[in-house]
Structure 1
Amino acid sequence: MWLTTSALFGTPPNWPQFRGVDGAGVAAASAKPPVKIGPTENVRWSVPVPWSPSSPCVWGDRIFLTTFDAGQLEVRCYDRGDGKLRWTQHLKPEGIEEFHNADGSPAASTPATDGRHVVTYFGSFGLLCHDFEGREVWRRPLALAQSGGKFGSGTSPVIVGNRVLLNRDQYQDSSLLALDLLTGAIAWETPRPEAAGSFGTPVIWRSDGEDQIVLGGSAQLKGYAFQSGAERWVINGVTNTVCTTPVIGDGRLFFAAWSPGQSDAPRQPWEKFLEANDKNRDGVVDLAELDPRRRDYLRGMDRNRDGKFTPEDWELLKITDAKAENVLVAVNPGGRGNISETHVAWKYRKGLPYVASPLFYEGRIYILRDGGLLSSLDPKTGEPFYAQERIGATGSYYASPVAADGRIYVASLPGKLTVLKAGGAKPEILHQVDFGARILATPALVEDAIYVRTATHLWAFGGN
Structure 2
Amino acid sequence: MIRSCFPALVLLIVAGAIAQADEPAWNRFRGPEGTGVNQTANPPVEFGPDQNVLWRTAVHGRGWSSPVVLGERVWLTTATDDGRRLSALCLELATGDVLWDRVVFEVAEPRFRHPTNSYASCTSFVEPGRLYVHFGSYGTACLDAATGATLWERRDFVSDDFRGPASSPIVHGEWLIVHFDGVDHQFLVGLDKQTGATAWRRERDIDYGVDNGDLKKAYATPRVIEVDGVAQLISPAAVETIAYKLPEVEPLWRIRHGGMNAAAPPLFDGERVYVTGGVGPMSLVAVRPNGHGDVTDTQVAWNEGRNVPQRSGPLLLEGRLYTTDDRGIAACRDAATGEALWTKRLGGTFWASPVTAAGRIYAFNQAGEGFVFAAEDAYRELARIELDEEVNATPAIVGDTLLVRTIDALYRFGVEKE
TM-score by length of 2: 0.88
Shift of 1:235: 0.8
Shift of 1:400: 0.6
Equivalent residue number for residue 389 of structure 1:
344
Q: Does 1:83 align with 2:58?
A: no
Conserved? CA contact 2:137–2:160, under 8 Å: no
SS for the counterpart of 2:33 is helix
Equivalent residue number for residue 202 of structure 1:
222
What does 1:10-409 align with in structure 2 at a 5 Å threshold? 11-12=22-23, 14-27=25-38, 29-50=39-60, 51-69=62-80, 71-90=84-103, 91-100=105-114, 102-133=115-146, 134-143=148-157, 145-147=159-161, 150-192=162-204, 194=206, 196-259=216-279, 262=280, 325-386=281-342, 388-391=343-346, 394-409=347-362
Equivalent residue number for residue 321 of structure 1:
none
Equivalent residue number for residue 443 of structure 1:
395
Amino acid at match of 1:188: W
Conserved? CA contact 1:97–1:106, under 8 Å: no
SS for the counterpart of 2:411 is strand
Shift of 1:193: 5.0
Equivalent residue number for residue 211 of structure 2:
none
Equivalent residue number for residue 415 of structure 1:
368
Conserved? CA contact 2:159–2:184, under 8 Å: no
Rate the CA distance shift 1:144–1:189 in 2: closer, same or farther, 3 A. Answer: closer
Shift of 1:115: 2.2
Amino acid at match of 1:20: G
Rate the CA distance shift 1:191–1:124 in 2: closer, same or farther, 3 A. Answer: closer
Shift of 1:86: 0.6
SS for the counterpart of 1:360 is strand
Amino acid at match of 2:88: V
SS for the counterpart of 2:181 is coil
* Consecutive unaligned residues in structure 2, runs of 5 or more: 1-18, 209-215
1 CA distance for matches of 2:137 and 2:262?
21
Rate the CA distance shift 1:47–1:10 in 2: closer, same or farther, 3 A. Answer: closer
1 CA distance for matches of 2:250 and 2:77?
31
The range that moved more, 193-202 or 409-418, is 193-202
Equivalent residue number for residue 268 of structure 1:
none
Moved over 6 A (4+): none
SS for the counterpart of 2:389 is coil
- The two structures, once aligned, show a CA RMSD in angstroms of 1.9
Conserved? CA contact 1:145–1:170, under 8 Å: yes
Per-residue CA distance 1:390-412 (angstroms, 9 max, x = gap): 23xx2221101111110011110
Amino acid at match of 2:258: V
2 CA distance for matches of 1:24 and 1:9?
24
Amino acid at match of 2:41: A
Conserved? CA contact 1:14–1:59, under 8 Å: yes
Amino acid at match of 2:394: T
Shift of 1:228: 2.4
The range that moved more, 361-370 or 174-183, is 361-370
Q: How many residues align?
A: 385
Rate the CA distance shift 1:257–1:416 in 2: closer, same or farther, 3 A. Answer: farther
Shift of 1:144: 5.1
Per-residue CA distance 1:82-136 (angstroms, 9 max, x = gap): 1111112212134323211x22221111110122210011125221001222122
TM-score by length of 1: 0.79
SS for the counterpart of 1:224 is strand
2 CA distance for matches of 1:397 and 1:416?
10
Conserved? CA contact 2:160–2:185, under 8 Å: no
Equivalent residue number for residue 7 of structure 2:
none
1 CA distance for matches of 2:274 and 2:415?
33
Amino acid at match of 1:256: T
2 CA distance for matches of 1:396 and 1:193?
34
Conserved? CA contact 1:360–1:366, under 8 Å: yes
Q: Does 1:459 align with 2:415?
A: no
Amino acid at match of 2:47: I
